Amino acid sequence: LLCSIDTQMRSLSQCVAYPPEAQMDGTQETYPDCVALSATAEVPVSVYGARAAAAVELLRANLPIPNGWAFAADTVRKFGRGEFPESWPVSTALKNGVMVSLRVSPINRDWGGPETLLNIGMNAARHKDLIDTLGQEAADAFYLRFVQGFAINVARLDAEDFDAILDRSKTDAGTDSATALAHSLAYYESEMDMPFPQDPEDQLRQALRSMANAWNGASGRILRAARGAPADAGLGLLVQEMVLGIGKGEFGSGIAQFVSPTTGTVNLSGRYLGQSQGRDAMDTTKTAQYLAQDKRGPSLEEACPESFMLLQRYGAQVREIYRDEMQVEFTVEDGQVWLLDATPAERNVRAAIAIAVNLVELGLISRDQALARVAPRNLSEVLHAQIDPKAAPKQLAMGIGASPGAASGKIVFSSPAAVAAQARGEASILVRVETSPDDIRGMHSANAILTERGGINSHAAVVARTLGLPCVVSAEDISVDKRSKTITLPDGQTLKEGTVITLDGSTGQIFWGAAGLVEPKFDGPFRQFLAWADEVREMGVRCNADTPQDVRMALAFGSDGIGLVRTEHMFYDPGRLTVMRELIFADKAEDRIDALNLLLPMQRGDFQEIFALMNGAQVCIRLLDPPLHEFLPTTRAQQKALADAMGIPSSKVSARIEELSEFNPMLGMRGVRLGITVPEIYDMQARAIFEAALEFTNATGRSITPEIMVPLVSANHEVELVKSRIDAIASAVQSERGVALDYKLGVMVETPRAALRARDIARSCEFMSFGTNDLTQMTYGLSRDDAGRFMREYVNLNVFPEDPFRSLDVDGVGELLLMAAERGRADKPDLLLGLCGEHGGDPESVKFCAEAGFDYVSCSPFSTPIARLAAAQAQL
Q: Give contact residues for ligand PEP (rule: CB under 6 A).
A: 462, 564, 566, 625, 750, 771-774, 836-837
CB of 805 to ligand PEP, least distance (A): 10
CB of 462 to Mg ion, least distance (A): 10
295: CB partners within 8 A, 6+ apart: none
Residue 384: active-site member: no
Phi-psi sector, 193: left (phi>0), alpha (psi -120 to 50), beta: left
Three-class DSSP category at 263: coil
Q: Determine the Cα–Cα distance for residues 776 and 778; give it in Å rounded to an integer.
A: 5
Q: Between residue 89 and residue 118, which ones bind Mg ion under the rule CB under 5 A?
A: none
Which amino acid is located at 549 in the chain? Q
Nearer to ligand PEP, 772 or 845 (CB): 772
The Cβ of residue 402 has, within 10 Å, a number of other Cβ atoms equal to 31
Nearer to Mg ion, 492 or 781 (CB): 781
CB of 674 to Mg ion, least distance (A): 13
Nearer to ligand PEP, 608 or 773 (CB): 773
Among candidate residues 348, 356, 350, 485, the one with its CA nearest the CA of residue 413: 485
Nearer to Mg ion, 750 or 785 (CB): 750
DSSP code at position 485: T
CB 289 within 8 A of CB 273: yes
Among candidate residues 550, 554, 585, the one with its CA nearest the CA of residue 566: 550
CB 669 within 8 A of CB 677: yes
Q: Determine the Cα–Cα distance for residues 81 and 239; give it in Å rounded to an integer.
A: 19
Residue 34: active-site member: no
Q: Which does 833 bind (CB under 5 to 8 A by kind): Mg ion, ligand PEP, none?
A: none
CB of 555 to ligand PEP, least distance (A): 20
The DSSP result for 540-553, as a single string, is EEEEE--SHHHHHH
Which amino acid is located at 40 in the chain? T
Binding mask 734-763 for Mg ion (x = CB under 5 A): ----------------x-------------
Q: Between residue 761 and residue 800, which ones bind Mg ion under the rule CB under 5 A?
A: 771, 774
Nearer to Mg ion, 439 or 774 (CB): 774
CB 464 within 8 A of CB 505: yes
Q: Which does 772 bind (CB under 5 to 8 A by kind): Mg ion, ligand PEP, none?
A: ligand PEP
CA angle 776, 780, 783 (to 5 degrees): 75
Q: Determine the Cα–Cα distance for residues 833 and 765; give it in Å rounded to an integer.
A: 11
Tell me the pairing of strands 395-398 and 400-403: unpaired
The Cβ of residue 394 has, within 10 Å, a number of other Cβ atoms equal to 9
CB of 616 to ligand PEP, least distance (A): 24
**Cα distance from N-terminal residue to C-terminal residue, the chain:** 54
DSSP code at position 446: -
Q: Which neighbouring-strand residues pair with 543?
A: 562, 859
Interior/surface letters 796-823, b for 16+ CB within 10 angstroms, e for the rest: eeeebeebbbbbbbbeebbebbeebbeb
CB of 747 to ligand PEP, least distance (A): 12
CB of 770 to ligand PEP, least distance (A): 7
Nearer to ligand PEP, 399 or 837 (CB): 837
Which three-class secondary structure string do you get for 176-243?
CHHHHHHHHHHHHHHHHCCCCCCCHHHHHHHHHHHHHHHHHCHHHHHHHHHCCCCCCCCEEEEEEECC
CB of 595 to Mg ion, least distance (A): 25
Nearer to Mg ion, 242 or 473 (CB): 473
Among candidate residues 812, 826, 727, the one with its CA nearest the CA of residue 776: 812
Active-site residue, from 471, 620, 765, 836: 836
Q: Which neighbouring-strand residues pair with 237?
A: 71, 104
CB of 741 to ligand PEP, least distance (A): 26
796: CB partners within 8 A, 6+ apart: none
CB of 774 to ligand PEP, least distance (A): 3
Nearer to ligand PEP, 204 or 565 (CB): 565
Three-class DSSP category at 443: helix
CB 284 within 8 A of CB 303: no
Nearer to ligand PEP, 41 or 813 (CB): 813
Q: Which does 280 bind (CB under 5 to 8 A by kind): ligand PEP, Mg ion, none?
A: none
CB of 754 to ligand PEP, least distance (A): 11
Residue at shortest CB range from Mg ion: 774
CA angle 525, 531, 534 (to 5 degrees): 150
Nearer to Mg ion, 57 or 434 (CB): 434
Nearer to ligand PEP, 350 or 459 (CB): 459
Active-site residue, from 127, 384, 459, 569: 459
Q: Which does 566 bind (CB under 5 to 8 A by kind): Mg ion, ligand PEP, none?
A: ligand PEP
CB of 771 to ligand PEP, least distance (A): 3
639: CB partners within 8 A, 6+ apart: 633, 650, 653, 654, 657
Question: Is residue 124 classed exposed, middle or buried when 0-12, 13-18 and 19+ CB atoms within 10 A define those classes?
Answer: exposed
Q: Determine the Cα–Cα distance for residues 374 and 355; give it in Å rounded to an integer.
A: 10
Nearer to ligand PEP, 386 or 772 (CB): 772
Tell me the pairing of strands 68-71 and 34-36: antiparallel
Q: Which does 837 bind (CB under 5 to 8 A by kind): ligand PEP, Mg ion, none?
A: ligand PEP
The footprint of Mg ion (CB under 5 A) covers 750, 771, 774
Enzyme catalytic residues? 459, 836
